[in-house]
Structure 1
Amino acid sequence: MSSAIVVGATGILGREIVKEMGKEPAKWKTVHALSRSQKDSYPSNVVHHHINLLDSAADMAKSLKDVGADYVFFAAYFQQESEEKEWEVNGDMLANFLGALEISGAAGKIKRVVLVTGAKQYGVHLGQVKNPMIETDEWLRDSTWPPNFYYRQQDILKLFCEKHNNASWVVTYPNDVIGFAKGNYMNLASSIGIYAAVSKELGQDLVWPGSETFYTRFDSFTSSDLHARFCLWAASEPKAANQAFNVVNGDVQSWQDLWPRVARRLGMKVKPDQFAGKSDLASTTPLDFPPPITLVAKEIGLEGKIGESETAQRINLARWSQQDAVKQAWNRLAEREGLEKDAFEKATWAFLDFILGRNFDLVISMSKARDMGWTGYQDIWKSFSDAFGELEAANILPKVHWVGEPSGCTCLP
């Protein structure tokens, strides 16, 4: 039997790791779920502990006085207003947590630490990347690009494991996560679902709000529950020691296929001429840095052929969400359907604008993990449909009753 510590246990990815281990009490004797607050009820093998990850190592050690485990899963993240601040805060957070384990004496028992990061590893937030993205791609470390706190966290973790040679490390790179966590709205499904629900309340068909270019480009997604299963596999797989892995569902998708499915799943249809004309809410924003693909442009024979990366919105959702008619429609809908009223304001509209507004593909390889024996796979559309179901059950989205397959359902009034 094993024990585990999950840091960031209420986030979209951390919550699923806790949930997955909670299903196997015979294997996971004790799971210490660490977060600022408890938002879920837990099975008997899960114990919640309050922790403030912004504390010093000494103060955190007091909170961890009786907490020890064989495995650590670090899935905490604090969003900041700049890349420099993210480097500082999120790097210090991991360094102080690991320092707290040293002070408490728990570090000597740890077998493996799994650090959850993301495809920001490749600079997907900066512009066009080389496709497919593979784990051996060069890091964007020089002054051409802003600091990347994932790099600092990985350096911190490697030094910790070198110091404590009983421990090995694993790093995961998920992308465009599909999932649900109470009180956490930084995910695709909730914001897309709320946008669709309000559009329907206004008597409108579903209109793609992002970039017309990206509508037919490819993206890779990560289901939060598949990521959790991967983390448990990687924690115990000997060959995974001291390795970083892409973690995506295993297929690629484009919104030209997903968007009509979203519409049908939520009881709507796509506006047939959704790209006709120009919305008053349209916007275009060039990205500030050279696209990451320029790092290898000469090597791959594309020197001088790399265009500017940008995000474009046919409907800028950050501005759309501030319209009186939109707010009133949500309030009517929330009141009538018994929904969480504050879900609309907590939705991360600017985040969705960026994700849907890109003008470049994101194709992420799973070959490394597969070569080591990982066989997990999950259909991207199923991940979205399941997440919508969870959001409906949590009264964040109105319940839609449908019959038939989600990919071609007949919605009932």
Structure 2
Amino acid sequence: MEQEVPNTSTPVALVVGVTGMAGLSLAEALKSPTALGGPWKVYGSARRAKPTWFPSSTLDHYITFDALNFDDTLKHLSPVAHEITHVFWIAIQVRENEESNIVANSTMLENVIKALKSATPSRLCHITLQTGSKHYMGQIFDPVLGAQLVHHEPPFHEDMPRLPYPNFYYALEDLLASYSPSLSYSVHRSSIIVGASSRSFYNALLTLCVYAIICKYQGLPFRYPGTKYTWENFCDMSDARVLAEQQIWAAVMDRAKNQAFNCTNGDVFTWKCFWKVCCEIFDVEFVPFDENEKFDWVGMMKKKGRVWDEIVEKYGLYKTNMEEIVCLEAVDAVLHFDFPHVCSMNKSREFGFFGFANTLKSIGMWVGRLRDMKIIP
């Protein structure tokens, strides 16, 4: 690719992990005529080729490279490295344990920063890092750590001390801080993200959509697989649009530099209310929760891969394997929390960010997006 002479007045974003839920919403928000600090030029990158459901008009250019390989990263970013002013880091790799997560994710982020800073001159000035509420709970999906974690008491707030366990979120924050003051950064700790993509590792909404669709297709009851506690107590979510709005805000506001912010919708919900919304959307009967009726939801769903294949074929959907688009164990863990999963948004508001979303109202919109993208029927 021939190098262009950059317009030094135009901010140029690189969204790493652009095909995920948050990445797609971020790219769309950056290209909006009303985006803060804009108009933006937007490059998006991912490990794999662009899926057919991804709107091409959202990006100025799509780049594919393996961030774990520095030579491959440098090769594909060198032609645009002199343009990039802001990196929005949405990428994630999930490995078998947390020590491996630290190595893989730190390597990817450092490779991208080094490749961009190698430009002469480099315009890179800010890195936006997306992490999550496991900052306060520990890495709950680690096969060894998960059973011994002691989490902070909710509501979670940003000045809580780090937990005494390995956590790749901490490693990525430390990596960004090591580049100060030559680069500023912001950290965005999401809750359960709700958005539209077939390529997000943790996609609770799509997982529950697939569950409801299979129940409807096979005439099965759409039963709640969690506990009475989570059925009745509060939880929060992060609409991908709110997350994008906060990330852009922090990237252009001086007062937000080198700060960490929780990012949720600003409201709370119960899974009972969430379940009723899903029943309406997918036209399945609402089944009241009965704590005496235990069932192996994860085990049942793991046997439904061929059923999903039938559904994909019948409705002409974007080709997916069920195992690649659901996160059964992760959702099951959330639905078995014994504490309210709630993050404080006070710091974010005190710094001047007031974005919000109505969680239960947003579900129908995002399911509509998934249907429009032909990911679900």
1:47 equivalent to 2:61? Answer yes
Partners of 1:60 and 1:97 within 8 A in 2: yes
With normalisation by structure 2, the TM-score equals: 0.86
Structure 2 contact 30–40 (Cα < 8 Å) conserved: no
Q: C-alpha distance in 1, partners of 2:85/2:159?
A: 28
Q: Deviations over 1:303-351 (max 9, x none)?
A: xxxxxxxxxxxx3x2x11233xx45644444443333463423222222
Counterpart CA distance in 2 for 1:236 and 1:273 is: 46
C-alpha distance in structure 1 between counterparts of 2:294 and 2:359, whole Å: 30
Structure 1 position 6, deviation (Å): 1.3
Q: Give the equivalent residue in structure 2 for 1:38.
A: 50
Q: CA separation in 2, counterparts of 1:159 and 1:82?
A: 25
Q: Percent identity?
A: 27
Amino acid at match of 1:271: V
Assess, with a 3 A threshold, how the Cα gap between structure 1 residues 201 and 393 changes in structure 2: closer, same or farther.
same
1:161 is paired with a residue whose SS is: coil
Instruction: Find the aligned partners of 1:379 and 1:331 in 2 and give their Cα distance.
Output: 33
RMSD (Å), alpha carbons: 2.2
Structure 2 residue corresponding to 1:155, chosen from 174, 190, 207? 174
1:129 aligns with 2:152: yes
Q: 1:112 to 1:278 in 2, by over 3 A?
A: closer
Match of 1:309 in 2: none
**How do 1:61-210 residues align onto structure 2 when only pairs under 5 Å count?**
61-67=74-80, 68-105=83-120, 108-123=122-137, 125=140, 126=149, 128-140=151-163, 142=164, 145=165, 147-162=166-181, 164=182, 167-184=183-200, 186-210=202-226
Q: Which residue of 1 aligns with 2:5?
A: none
Cα distance, 1:44–1:322 mapped onto 2, change above 3 Å? closer
From the CA coordinates, give the structure whose radius of gyration is larger: 1
Q: Paired residue for 1:339?
A: 317
Q: Residues of 2 paired with 1:361 and 1:77: CA distance? A: 26
Q: Structure 2 CA distance, aligned partners of 1:150 and 1:75?
A: 12
Per-residue deviation, 1:5: 1.5
Partner Cα distance (1:66, 1:322) in 2: 44
Q: Describe the SS at the equivalent of 2:344.
A: coil
Closer, same or farther: CA 197–171 of 1 in aligned 2, 3 Å: same
Question: What secondary structure does 1:114 align onto?
Answer: strand
Q: Is 2:270 the counterpart of 1:257?
A: no
For residue 160 of structure 1, give the secondary structure of its aligned residue in structure 2: coil
Of 262-271 and 365-374, more deviation after overlay is shown by 262-271
Pick closer, same or farther for the CA change 1:2–1:131 going to 2, 3 Å.
Answer: same
- Give the TM-score normalised by structure 1: 0.79
2:23 matched to which residue of 1?
A: 14
Q: Where does the alignment leave 5 or more consecutive residues of structure 1 unmatched? A: 282-314, 399-413
Per the alignment, do residues 193 and 84 of structure 1 end up closer, same or farther by CA in structure 2, a change over 3 Å counting?
A: same
State the aligned residue count: 351
- Relative to structure 1, the CA distance from residue 100 to residue 332 in structure 2 (aligned partners, 3 Å threshold; closer, same or farther) is closer
Give the AA of the match of 1:377. F
Cα separation, 2, equivalents of 1:341 and 1:62? 30
Instruction: Report the Cα offset of residue 176 of structure 1.
Output: 0.7
Give matches, 1:210-225, under 5 Å: 210-225=226-241
1:330 and 1:43, CA in 2 relative to 1: closer, same or farther beyond 3 A? closer
Contact 2:198 / 2:375 at 8 angstroms: preserved in 1? no
Candidates 214, 224, 245, aligned match of 1:229: 245
How far apart in 2 are the matches of 1:200 and 1:95? 46
Question: How far does residue 393 in structure 1 lie from its aligned partner after superposition?
Answer: 1.9
Partner-residue secondary structure (3-state), 2:278: helix
| AA in 1 matched with 2:264 | V
**199 and 21 in structure 1: CA distance in 2 versus 1, 3 angstrom threshold:** same
| Residue correspondence of structure 1 range 242-391 to structure 2 within 5 A | 242-272=258-288, 274-279=290-295, 281=296, 315=297, 317=298, 319-323=299-303, 326-327=304-305, 329-340=307-318, 342-346=320-324, 347-391=326-370
Residues 312, 320 of structure 2: 8 Å contact kept:
no
Which letter maps to 1:375? F
* CA distance in structure 2 between the partners assigned to 1:157 and 1:90 by the alignment: 12
- Return the alpha-carbon distance in structure 2 between the equivalents of residues 251 and 366 of structure 1: 10
Change (3 A) 1:338 1:59: closer
CA contact (8 A) 1:4 1:30 kept: yes
- List alignment gaps of at least 5 residues for structure 2: 1-9, 141-148
Q: Which amino acid in the other structure matches residue 359 of structure 2?
A: I
Residue by residue over 1:11-38, the C-alpha shift from the partner in whole angstroms, topping out at 9 and shown as x without a partner, is 2212211111122399234212122222
Measured after TM superposition, the shift of residue 382 of structure 1 is 2.1
The Cα shift of 1:174 comes to 0.5
Superposition deviation, residue 384 in structure 1:
1.8
Assess if the C-alpha contact under 8 Å between 1:213 and 1:359 holds in 2.
yes
Residues 264 and 139 (structure 1 numbering): CA distance in 2 closer, same or farther, change over 3 Å? same
